[in-house]
Structure 1
C-alpha cells in the first residue's frame, strides 16, 4: 500500500512538472538592494514565576540595570533572583521600514531558564551588523510552550517554553538606505539562476516596454532601465513585476533525502539501457544468555556469556527488469512498482544506475 501511494505521488509530480506555466516577475526575481536586514540584541526578561536563570551573567545584568536606576547593591551580595532571565532578542527589519513603525521580535533564553512564560522584556536596543541601533524592543512575551515539574522530580515539557515572541514588540528608530531611487536602472536578481529564464525575462520586458529596456548581466541578474523620479519608478516597477515570463525548464535531477527516505525525480530524468534485479534480504539477530559452569575442581567461577544467533534469508524473488534507452520518469516508476520495491529500494536502484553511468541526471543526496 505504501509503495502504491509513493508511486502515485511521483506520477502526479511528473504530470504537474511536465506542464509549462508563465510566472510573474515578482515570483521569479527580487529587486536588487530591496531586502530585509537582521537585527539582534541582548536583554533581560523579568516577572517569571521562579523559572528564571541561575547563571552569573543574568545576575550581572540585573545588577547593571539596578545601578542605572541609582540602586547600588553592596559588593559580594547576590540577589539570588529566580524571576529573571538573560535573553537574546532578534528581529527582521523589512525593506523601506520607517521610524515609528513596529516589527515582531523573537526572544530566546541564553541561560538555564526553564520557561519564559509570563515574563516581560525590558527595553532592549536591537543592532545591525554595523553596530548601529535600528530598533528598541520591549513588551510582554507570548510563549507557546509549557514546562511543569513536581516535587518528586517528575517533569513535563510541551513545545519549547524557553522561546517566546512579542508581536509588534520593537519600534524602528533608524531607516536603512536601499538605494532604490538611485541611478538610471534597477537590477532584477533571479531567485534561481538560469540562462534560459534570464533570456526569457529580457525578451518579455523588451516586448512590452520597448527594445533595449532590459539586458542580461549574467544567468541571475537582469538590468532594466527605469525612471529616476521615485513616484514614476514605483509605478514602473508595479508594471514590471506583473509581467509574465515562462521560466526555463530545470535540469535533470534526482533528489534523495537520506533521513526521511523521500525521493523526488525530475521530469527530464532519463536512463540509458540497463538491467536491474531486485531482491530482499531479511537479517534476524537473536541474543541468548548462556551460563558457563566450570568443573568442580577447576577453581573457576560461574559466568553468564552472551551468544548471538544471526540468520539471513532472502525474501525477494530476484526478478529482473530492463530499462530501454531514453525511458522517462513514468517508465522508471512503473518498472520499480512492478517488482514491489519500497522507497528505500528505489534509492538503492538509482544509486546503482548512477554508478553504472546509466542515470542521465544529477543525483543529489541531502
Structure 2
C-alpha cells in the first residue's frame, strides 16, 4: 500500500465527513433571514400591565375639616357661615364656649374638603397621602395646617384620620383695589403621609381556588392569548376565559403559595390584541386622534373654506346750504364673501394612517377642516373606523 504522505493529508474519509453540509456563503446568507424570523412581530407586554387581580383595589375616602393658620387668605365668614359653625362645634368639643351673640370674623380659617385613596391591603397605622381643597372663598391655603379630620368610605365608616401641614404648589397675591395675581392653584394643597389608617378593608384575595384577572380594556383577542400564555407557562387547564374582560386562573389555597404564584403570573409576557380602529374628535378643542388601524377606502375630497366679513359703518347725510333738510346719520353694512380655492386630493384604497396625515398636511387643512373631512368620509362609508365625538 502506497503512503499518501503529508501532502495528501485531508483527503481521507474522516476528513471528508468533517466538511460542512452547506457552503459558507449559503449559510451566511441564511443568518439575516433567521434573525428576522426570530424577532417578535409586536412588542410583548406583561400581564401586570394588561390586567388587575380581582378583589385587589383601592377605596375612595372623603372628609371635611378646617385649615387654620392662614395669613389672612382664609374664608370670609360673612359669606361662608358654615365655616363659623364648624369652628364653634370644634371649640365646644375642646371645652371652649363661644357666646351665641358673638360672630367671629376670621380670615385665617378655611373650610376644606379632604379626599384620599385607601390602597389595597392597607393596615391600621400606615399612612397615606391626602389632598385638601377649599370649598368656600379662601384665596390661598399656603402655610395652613389641617386639624384632625375623619375620612369616611362609601359605607359611612371612618377608615383614616387626616392632620398635618399643607404643601401648596400655587401662589397668589391680591391688592386692595381687587387686582389679583395667581400662579397655579393656591386653593388646593397636599399633605404627604397626612392620614393614618384606622380600619382595614377586607378583600376577596383569598378563599376559593381561583383568581380572576380583569383586563384594563375589553378585548377578546387579548383574553384568548392570555389563556394560551398561562397554560403554556403553568400547564394546560390553568386558565379559562370567562368573557371579553375576565380570565379565571387556578391558584393555590395557601396564602403564601398564592403570593408566589401571583409573582410569577404577573410577569408572564404576551402580545396583546391590536386596538380597534377608532378616531377620537374633540369638537371643543379641535383635537383629532387617529389610531394606527384606521383605513380609508378610495375617495376623492375637495374642501374649501368660506369666510363672510360684515363691516358696520355710519353715513352722514348733510343737506344743501339754505336747505330745509336736517342732517341724518344712517347706518351702512358692507358684506364681503371670500371663498378660498379648494384643492381635490384622493385617498387610495387601504390608505394607512401615515398616508392620511401626509395628504391632509399637503392641502393645509386646519383641525376644524379635518373634523369636517372625517365626518364626511364616515357618512360616505369610506372611513373604516369608529368615529367618536366627545
Would you call these one fold, judging by a TM-score over 0.5?
A: yes
How do 1:262-301 and structure 2 match up within 5 A? Answer: 262-291=287-316
Give the unaligned 5+ runs of structure 2: 1-40
Change (3 A) 1:221 1:133: same
**C-alpha distance in structure 1 between counterparts of 2:360 and 2:104, whole Å:** 68
Residues 114 and 132 in structure 2, CA contact (< 8 A), matched pair in contact too: yes
Corresponding residue for 2:270? 245
**C-alpha distance in structure 2 between counterparts of 1:266 and 1:199, whole Å:** 22
1:184 to 188, 209, 223: 209
Corresponding residue for 1:84? 109
CA RMSD of aligned residues (A): 2.2
- Say if 2:280 is the partner of 1:258: no
**C-alpha distance in structure 1 between counterparts of 2:97 and 2:223, whole Å:** 64
Runs of 4+ in 1 over 6 A off after TM superposition: 292-298
Question: Following TM superposition, by how much is the alpha carbon of 1:119 offset from its aligned partner in structure 2, in angstroms?
Answer: 1.0
**C-alpha distance in structure 2 between counterparts of 1:301 and 1:225, whole Å:** 96
Change (3 A) 1:333 1:157: closer
Corresponding residue for 1:207? 232
**C-alpha distance in structure 2 between counterparts of 1:167 and 1:304, whole Å:** 68
Corresponding residue for 1:331? 355
- Say if 2:333 is the partner of 1:311: no
Size of the aligned set, in residue pairs, is 346
Change (3 A) 1:196 1:292: farther
Structure 2-normalised TM-score? 0.83
- Say if 2:60 is the partner of 1:35: no
**C-alpha distance in structure 2 between counterparts of 1:22 and 1:289, whole Å:** 70
Q: Which structure would you say has the larger RCO, counting Cα contacts within 8 Å and 6 or more residues apart? A: 1
Question: Following TM superposition, by how much is the alpha carbon of 1:297 offset from its aligned partner in structure 2, in angstroms?
Answer: 6.3
Per-residue displacement from partner, 1:256-286 (whole Å, max 9, x unpaired)? 2223322222222222232211323343333
How do 1:122-161 and structure 2 match up within 5 A? Answer: 122-161=147-186
SS of residue in 1 equivalent to 2:173: strand
1:97 to 119, 122, 132: 122
Corresponding residue for 2:42? 20
Corresponding residue for 1:112? 137
SS of residue in 1 equivalent to 2:356: helix
Question: Following TM superposition, by how much is the alpha carbon of 1:301 offset from its aligned partner in structure 2, in angstroms?
Answer: 8.9
Corresponding residue for 1:51? 73
Question: Following TM superposition, by how much is the alpha carbon of 1:343 offset from its aligned partner in structure 2, in angstroms?
Answer: 3.3
Change (3 A) 1:130 1:301: farther
Give the unaligned 5+ runs of structure 1: 1-18
**C-alpha distance in structure 2 between counterparts of 1:200 and 1:282, whole Å:** 53
Question: Following TM superposition, by how much is the alpha carbon of 1:100 offset from its aligned partner in structure 2, in angstroms?
Answer: 0.7
**C-alpha distance in structure 2 between counterparts of 1:235 and 1:187, whole Å:** 16
SS of residue in 2 equivalent to 1:234: helix
Corresponding residue for 1:342? 366
- Say if 2:193 is the partner of 1:168: yes
Larger Rg: 2
SS of residue in 2 equivalent to 1:196: helix
**C-alpha distance in structure 2 between counterparts of 1:242 and 1:125, whole Å:** 38
SS of residue in 2 equivalent to 1:66: helix
Task: Decide which moves more: 118-127 or 149-158.
Answer: 149-158
Question: Following TM superposition, by how much is the alpha carbon of 1:77 offset from its aligned partner in structure 2, in angstroms?
Answer: 1.3
**C-alpha distance in structure 2 between counterparts of 1:245 and 1:59, whole Å:** 59
**C-alpha distance in structure 2 between counterparts of 1:271 and 1:119, whole Å:** 57
Corresponding residue for 1:5? none
Structure 1-normalised TM-score? 0.88
